[in-house]
Amino acid sequence: MPSVGVKLYSVFFKFLLKHRLQNRIQSSGDESSSDPFGVTTRPEESVAAPNPLFTDGVATKDIHIDPLTSLSVRIFLPESALTPLEPSTSACVYSESRRNSYGYTTGSSSPEAGSSDVYRGYAPSSSGGNSRKLPVMLQFHGGGWVSGSNDSVANDFFCRRMAKHCDIIVLAVGYRLAPENRYPAACEDGFKVLKWLGKQANLAECNKSMGNSRRPGGEVKKSEVNKHIVDAFGASLVEPWLANHADPSRCVLLGVSCGANIADYVARKAIEVGQNLDPVKVVAQVLMYPFFIGSVPTQSEIKQANSYFYDKPMCILAWKLFLPEEEFSLDHQAANPLVPGRSPPLKFMPPTLTIVAEHDWMRDRAIAYSEELRKVNVDAPVLEYKDAVHEFATLDMLLRTPQAQACAEDIAIWAKKYISLRGHEFSY
């Protein structure tokens, strides 16, 4: 059984969550609460500031990628990316220069003292030819559709852990929350980031093929931007960390709680568009205690409906806030992965690791989905953690427990089968 501390914290957590959900329901009827631009975090959320220095082995930066919405990403770059392919002293530099929209700059090498826009973070070398390429992970946070954020203290800690354990660049997606933006906003935001990643890779390759001597992300004349780089999301420059270190052909999706539903949606959309995403290739996905539900209850939904942290009545409230009123159904395609008629066929889904907790009422449906994937020969193992609760590896109070650490290590071992370069795979 969970510890006494976990049980007490669960009671407190559920009280606050119920209060917040009820407030969201009361405000959702107000037309002014609907805002296409949306919000990606709540005032009560404790957030971690980005740090472009490798103070703990991972550098971070925030990027707003869509001018029409609040959609953003936080990039987590592990220090291992600085290891050159061959011995070299030109793998990286730390820059003190003028900031552009990505937080990376060149320009003045000796900025004025006391200037507020001085940037002292990691900046890739001008050549970039000796840079190490790492796989990319798109991470979708949890929070029951209405809360949570990609830059929360807990999510920042978790993503740093994954970046180091998996030796991977993590893009934590700040998708729009409900009820300000209902389905499919959050799911489409996830897919937008995947397309943005592909566009960034193509723009970087375009720069390279044109023999542009400037550093990726450096300042260019307006005429050069118009001539060479066109980005549907309004970004006029190549993101330098991704241009120098990302290998989008080894892309993993990881979703936490309701974020797992988003990851599954993005995986299906990626299959539907196929080669239009090149060079991005989704090679695997990790679903951590998915936020699945259905009208016909499973055994765990009956026996553990009042389980820790997220009980069934509160989750139903969250789904009412997320789904449009005219579409509300527990068998909605975003809620129930087992409903017939979902496309594409399951046999085309990427390898899928499912993480479940013993004391999570949603566990059985996640296991059943994994079983359906295995029936069509998709590599879809399930890792179940004894005495664990929903969000046992990502909730702020539980992040430093042995179970949370073991879960991260288990994910890394499995994921490296699909993201490691040939000859360097881990066995599982």
Catalytic residue (choose from 97, 264, 390, 410): 390
> How far is the C-alpha of 142 from the C-alpha of 43, rounded, in Å?
17
What are the structure tokens assigned to 277, written together?
A: 């995403």
Catalytic residue (choose from 257, 300, 307, 370): 257
C-alpha 53, offset from chain centre? 21
Partners of 63 in beta bridges: 73
Between the alpha carbon of residue 50 and those of residues 163, 171, 382, 421, the distances in Å are: 15, 13, 33, 30
Q: What is the pLDDT along the chain (428 residues), one digit of tens a residue?
A: 777 878 787 776 777 777 777 777 777 665 445 678 999 999 888 999 999 999 899 999 999 999 999 999 999 999 999 987 655 444 444 443 333 334 443 333 333 334 455 667 888 875 555 678 999 999 999 999 999 999 999 999 999 999 999 999 999 999 999 999 999 999 999 999 999 999 999 988 887 776 554 554 445 444 444 444 444 444 447 899 999 999 999 999 999 999 999 999 999 999 999 888 999 999 999 999 999 999 999 999 898 878 878 888 889 999 999 999 999 999 999 999 999 988 899 999 999 999 999 999 999 999 999 999 999 999 999 999 999 999 999 999 899 999 999 999 999 999 999 998 764 444 43
Catalytic residue (choose from 247, 360, 364, 410): 360
Catalytic, 360? Answer: yes
pTM of the model: 0.86
Q: Which domains does the chain have, with CATH numbers?
A: 4-26+39-81+128-210+231-419 (3.40.50.1820)
Contacts of 182 (CB under 8 A, 6+ apart): 321, 322, 323, 324
**68, 188 Cβ separation under 8 angstroms:** no
Burial class (CB in 10 A: 0-12, 13-18, 19+), 11: exposed
> How far is the C-alpha of 193 from the C-alpha of 181, rounded, in Å?
17
What are the structure tokens assigned to 96, written together?
A: 């003190």
**What is the CB-side half-sphere exposure of residue 18 using CA atoms within 13 A?**
11
Catalytic, 149? Answer: no
Which sign, positive or negative, has the C-alpha torsion 311, 411, 335, 170? positive
Catalytic, 331? Answer: no
Burial class (CB in 10 A: 0-12, 13-18, 19+), 226: exposed
